[in-house]
Amino acid sequence: MIPLLAEIAWVTLLTSIVLALLLKYTRSKSPLRHLPLPPGPKPLPLLGNILDIPTTYQWRTYAEWSTKYGNIVHVTLFGKPLIILGSAKAAFDLFEKQSSTYSDRPLMQMLLLMGYGWSFVLMQYGTRWRRYRRMMHQYFNASSVENYKPSQVTEIRQLLRKLHNDPKNYFKHIRHSMGTLIIRVVYGVNDDYLVTVNERAMAGVAETMNPGSFWVDIMPFLKYVPNWIPGAGFKRKAREWRKDGSAIPGYGLAVAKHAIAQSDHDALQSIVADMLDRISSLDSERQAEEEVTIGDVAAVISSISSFILAMMHYPEVQEKAYAELMDVIGPGRFPQFSDRESLPYIDAIMKESLRWQPVLPLGIAHSTTEDSEYEGCLIPKGSIVMANTWAILHNPEEYPDPEKFFPDRFIEDGKINLAVRDPSTISFGYGRRIYNTFFMTVASILYTYTIRPPMGPDGKPIIKAVKMTSGSLSFPVPFDCQFEPRLSVIPLLRD
């Protein structure tokens, strides 16, 4: 307790001085400054609402604030405005219709200390950001990913066999297979070290991406404090996490280039290989610059959600999905990508998985480049703006009984109901596509296995409450389950 009080005391003193200077010398003369700020919990002098911000499951508290204050809530963190959007309308109005003002990202000092200055997701708006965006669109769009379907099929078939041979370690198998698949598609290699580094890096990022998780993000001058000062533990954490964060792009690019040099190019088709081929005719200086860009962009991929947890808790969903698979595919072969349009209920399960427990419950933070007005309120320049993805996808007006996993909410007359908002437009960031990998993984597992809870000594199933991790990335807390192979597919697993 004493170190915490000491930390608050010296931080408050430094903050008072900095804020006084900022208020004196940088007052905005924007004509919008006469507008009121959006409503929100009452701030304390100097500290603002820093003590109101919960340390865990922030999205649930923010959802309560939206219910109390409205769908646009204002709080301050040591004078830094934080705007929380609680509705899809507000998010689309600002991030889409006013994108020129809201396309910037807040400068996340903790992530920079961790070595993530290369990340496109965290990059501030500008020339470099636009170049990265063009590359992302060219090489990571849905049509380009079509080229890598064979790799996806191969890895998912291997996952099915791992679940059959060692079902108790299902979580390890799924995490490793999805990581391997991503590395294979992006870099064209099977590299366990790179998979492991990405896993460790993701764990660190999950603790840091939400503004307010570390005070250095709100008060950048803290990065200059000596390591021995109470409260500087964040610097020790950043130094440890930096080992992985700074290694990802350079190492990934190096192993991809080595593999290409050692093997036939066509046998190593990957996103990085395609990028390197495109820039091979550039002069050496420009080529080196683009190669750095390639390594950075290629590292920014994430994947898959928590549908296995839902299947264990909702066995009726599994059986309905299996009936559809049997009706469309029948016994004797695994699902194929071409089956997707004929499997609306599988599609609905995917949508509901994204909605039920979004991986990014607070999305990715944005920052305003100038003063802005929305619904009669001022959103100051430099504000951090976040869409509460979890609250939007748990809005009972759009998704009745939102805590329930209910894929049928997306179905009408045996087809996907286009009148119901597609969660993929919210949960993976506005306008992003769903990877084919998700469909193939979901359909293949449901075709191959019945997912059941473990049995207790009394012969009754042990079903624990649904629990997710807290952080900028949210995943199911590890749980036990059983994968019971369906008799019709056991011969396929042995092929």
Q: What is the DSSP letter of 480?
A: -
Tell me the longest C-alpha to C-alpha distance in the chain: 76
Contact between 427 and 393 (Cβ < 8 Å): yes
Residues 6 or more apart whose Cβ sits within 8 Å of residue 461 = 452, 453, 454, 455
Give dist(CA 144, CA 278) in Å, integer: 14
CA angle 402, 403, 407 (to 5 degrees): 65
Contact yes or no for 81/378 (Cβ under 8 A) = no
Residue whose token pair is 């994430």: 302
With residue 83 as reference, give the H or E element that holds it.
strand 80-85
DSSP string, 316-373: HHHHHHHHHHHHHT-TTS---GGGGGG-HHHHHHHHHHHHHS-SSTT---EE-SS-EE
Kindly report the CATH number that applies to the domain delimited by 2-494. Answer: 1.10.630.10
Return all residues near 230 (Cβ < 8 A) that are at least 6 apart.
Answer: 3, 6, 7, 10
Nearest to 109 by CA among 136, 80, 129, 85: 80
Backbone torsion region of residue 282, taken as left when φ is above 0, otherwise alpha when ψ lies between -120 and 50, otherwise beta: beta
Q: Which amino acid is at 394?
A: H
- Each residue's pLDDT, cut to its tens digit, for the chain (495 residues) gives 444 444 545 555 555 555 544 544 444 567 878 899 999 999 998 888 888 988 889 999 999 999 999 999 999 988 889 999 999 999 999 998 898 888 888 877 787 887 777 666 666 666 776 776 676 666 666 566 667 777 778 888 888 888 888 888 887 887 777 777 777 777 777 777 877 777 777 777 777 777 667 777 777 777 777 777 777 778 888 888 787 777 777 777 787 777 777 765 444 567 777 777 766 665 665 555 554 433 333 333 354 557 888 998 999 999 999 999 999 998 888 899 899 999 999 999 989 988 998 888 888 888 899 999 999 999 999 899 999 999 999 999 999 999 999 999 999 999 999 999 998 888 654 334 446 778 888 999 999 999 988 888 888 888 888 888 887 778 788 788 888 888 776 666 665
What are the C-alpha distances in Å from 361 to residues 35, 85, 200? 30, 12, 20
pLDDT at 139: 63
Which of 347, 436, 465, 484 has its CA nearest to residue 153? 436
Q: Which residues pair with 384 in a beta bridge?
A: 82, 367
- If phi > 0 it is left, if psi is from -120 to 50 it is alpha, else beta; for residue 376 that is left
Q: What tokens were used for 65?
A: 């604030």
> Which residues lie across from 452 on neighbouring strands?
482
Residue 456 phi, psi dihedral angles, 5° rounding: -85, 175
- Note the Cα 446 to chain centre separation in Å: 24
Spatial separation of the C-alpha atoms in residues 430 and 9, rounded to whole Å: 40
Q: Please state, in angstroms and as integers, the Cα–Cα distance from residue 436 to each residue in 148, 410, 426, following that order.
A: 10, 19, 18
Phi, psi of 314 (to 5 degrees): -130, 75
CA angle 458–488–443, rounded 5-degree value: 85
Query: 413: which DSSP letter?
Result: T
- In whole angstroms, what is the distance from residue 279 CA to residue 283 CA? 9
